[in-house]
Amino acid sequence: MDPRFINRELSWIDFNDRVLALATEQGIPLLERAKFCAIASSNLDEFFQVRVAALKDQVAARIEEPTPDGRTAAMQLGAIAERVRQFTSTQERIWSEQLAPALADAGLAIVTWDDLSAVDRKALTEIYEDRIFPVLTPLAVDPSHPFPYISDLALSIAALVRDPETGDQRFARVKVPDLLPRLIPIDETRFLPAEELVIAHLGSLFAGMVIDESAAFRVTRNADLTVEEEQADDLLEAVEMELRRRRFNRAVRLEIADSVGDEMLDLLVRELDLHPNDVYRLRGPLDFRFLWQLHGQERPDLKDRLWPPITPGRIASGLEAERPIVSVMRDRAIMVHHPYESFSTSIEAFIEQAATDPRVQSIKMTLYRAGGDSPIMRALIRASERGVQVAVLVELKARFDEANNVNWAKQLERVGVHVIYGMAGLKTHSKCVLVVRDDGDQLRRYCHIGTGNYNTKTARIYEDLGILTCDDDIGDDIAKLFNHLTGYSRDDTYHTLLVAPRDLRPRLLELIEREIAFGSEGHITVKANAIADAEMTEALYRASAAGVRVDLVIRGISCLRAGVPGLSDNIHVRSVLGRYLEHSRIYRFAHGGVDGEPHYLIGSADLMPRNLDRRVEVLVPIEHPKHREWLDTVFEFLLADDIVRWELQSDDSWLRCGAPDAFEPNAQTRLYQWVVHRQGIKSSQ
């Protein structure tokens, strides 16, 4: 093992441990704590669908190349299995000892069939007979009925069914239909898991048979797409075909009730072609995502107090003066910080105004994740229908959003939008919009460059930054970028922007080296989702050795070790979690600018090999003093000594710091209050 690096996959599990830890924070309202338990389960599902599946593919292909920390794929799978068992055990304990009792005390009890009275059972049996029994399909396995296909993440019931006359025993599977709510309301305060109701009535599905055993289970499958872009005549068609095939990808995990017998478990493992290490026997409920249903209850007393987003000050002033956003942008660039500041009254409004503006001649944008119902996509459709030249680069390979993006691509093409599907071998992850407008005196380019997706739903819960500008140099660079992405332009020399994969890595390394030249006066501050790139990590180790202070605010993965004597003495890594998902990327180099002034960058790129080498990413410099002040304030809150945060220790563990019995002060509360105060709005906090 290489002691200079932490394993990427194990660091991700550390991150999910921190998410789960939020379910135990007494200072967080109860239903929000339950939500974090659900989020941790969703995270783990995706981890198996993508990361574990990829490692299994490597093992199958006999790829032995180790990771920077020195582990082969097989070694990682073994370590992952051990850590995930620890995670699920902790999650079950949090549920049984903390969340479930507290929810019951608050009038939201999850009960079992055995807990119910005869009256309750009779009422639920009527519900079962009227609404559930007609849609159930029992599938038995015998010489004429092969083992049934079990879809990804579907909740199922496994049963051993015996003929009382012949003694013959058969395996059967019953899928709990997706159309059912996971929790069946008994009354306003009690809920029964749907699988309990189905198991209690299995006899109705196998009339005259004896149910010897039953257990709920769930299968996770490889969810990655394999698209050979160079060989695909039609990338859209190829992605659609892969989406259909994905349903039948190999199984990578089996979750099953701990009560299952060996015979039934052995059959499932054999038929699903799994290894015993892929089996997770659970004592608590399967799939804690059902807690989202509880979170949807109208119980404001058990949820976070709402933080209404603020319309950015200069946009609000423009609205009062009936000035469109482009008019405000001509005075000076606008920086926006979501969700503290409203996405709908800034970025959405900018695009919607452009779509109806008779002076606008063209709109171009990159689309990574727009979601299912997008005001921005509808605005682009309207613009195209009235004759504006609209071009959208749709990233069809945005994981788990492929189907949404295929759908939007088709809708856009139907109304005449120029739809481009990216560059072969690269994902387009940058977040850019270019609007060309005839202002009378000249054609002017209006741009948005951000850290987050053009997605209305996630913009309410993901923390992100963006810049709205009509700066000539940035506009020229964005125009070159789109020409490079949509055509065959070889003019990809950018004067202002940092664009991956060609320029971003060398420029960041150059900025680190420049800071090293200042020794102990140097200071590098980075906020990102992850740092997993070995070359960047080594560069930061060199900076530490030279005395440069390195402060990293990393939400998720950190393969870099912090505070290790002789390696990373001057590197400090912390993770800040809360009601919003910290998603923005900010880079600050204390001496990276002209004449040794600070240099600030924001954009779409994390410090990971995929972002630096295999994606089109964009970072934009932040020049205006007020915008830099804003970024400094963000760092001030995130790096404060008294906030609740997790700090990476020299033994690679994460230590929760801050007030032990409260979730305040935290950086997000302080930032929201600061934004409200700047706008002169009375805060309810």
pLDDT in tens, 472-520: 999 999 999 999 888 765 556 899 999 999 999 999 999 999 999 999 9
Query: What token pair was written down for 586?
Result: 């900010």
pLDDT at 488: 60
Query: What token pair was written down for 392?
Result: 């959208």
The listed CATH number (3.40.50.300, 3.30.870.10, 3.20.20.70, 3.40.50.1370) that belongs to domain 498-679: 3.30.870.10
Sign of the C-alpha dihedral computed for residues 390, 393, 396 and 399 taken in this order? negative
Contact predicate 284/176, CB 8 Å: no
More confident residue, 229 or 101: 101
* Residue 394's pLDDT band (cuts 50, 70, 90): confident
* Residue 232's pLDDT band (cuts 50, 70, 90): very low
* Helix 375-385 vs helix 402-414: crossing angle, to nearest 10: 20
Task: State the catalytic residue, choosing from 295, 337, 338, 429.
Answer: 429
Contact predicate 627/512, CB 8 Å: no
Amino acid at 253: R
DSSP symbols for 606-620 = -BSHHHHHSEEEEEE
**How far is CA 432 from each of CA 367, 518, 572, rounded to the nearest angstrom?**
8, 34, 32
Q: Above 90 in pLDDT, residue 408?
A: no
Where is 241: in which H helix or E strand? helix 235-246
pLDDT at 678: 87
Length of the chain: 685
Amino acid at 359: R
**How far is CA 567 from each of CA 5, 76, 563, 652, rounded to the nearest angstrom?**
11, 24, 8, 13
pLDDT at 310: 95
Contact predicate 158/217, CB 8 Å: yes
CB-CB neighbours of 462 under 10 Å: 19
pLDDT at 35: 98
Tens-place pLDDT, residues 9-51? 999 999 999 999 999 999 999 999 999 999 999 999 999 999 9
For the chain, which residues make up each domain, given as ranges?
8-302, 328-486, 498-679
Mean pLDDT of 177-181: 89
User: Mean pLDDT of all residues in the chain?
Assistant: 92
* Residue 144's pLDDT band (cuts 50, 70, 90): low
pLDDT at 458: 93
Contact predicate 376/348, CB 8 Å: yes
Q: Is 429 a catalytic residue?
A: yes
Tell me the three state secondary structure of residue 388.
Answer: coil
What is the topology classification, in CATH, of domain 8-302? polyphosphate kinase like (3.30.1840)
- 275: CB partners within 8 A, 6+ apart: 269
Contact predicate 541/547, CB 8 Å: no
Question: What is the torsion angle, in degrees rounded to the nearest 10, for the CA atoms of residue 60, residue 64, residue 67 and residue 73?
Answer: 30
Amino acid at 530: A
Let me know if the fold of 328-486 is the same as that of 498-679: yes
Phi, psi of 637 (to 5 degrees): -70, -45
Residue with tokens 């295999």: 614
Q: Above 50 in pLDDT, residue 231?
A: no
What's the pTM value of the predicted model, to 2 decimals?
A: 0.94
Q: Above 90 in pLDDT, residue 238?
A: no
**How far is CA 241 from each of CA 238, 244, 251, 403, 405, rounded to the nearest angstrom?**
5, 5, 19, 11, 14
Q: Among 155, 354, 115, 183, which residue's Cα sits nearest to residue 254? A: 155
* Residue 425's pLDDT band (cuts 50, 70, 90): confident
pLDDT at 200: 96
- 322: CB partners within 8 A, 6+ apart: none
Q: Report which DSSP code applies to 27.
A: T
pLDDT at 681: 64
Tell me the three state secondary structure of residue 550.
Answer: strand
CATH of domain 328-486: 3.30.870.10
Pairing mode, strands 109-110 and 190-193: parallel
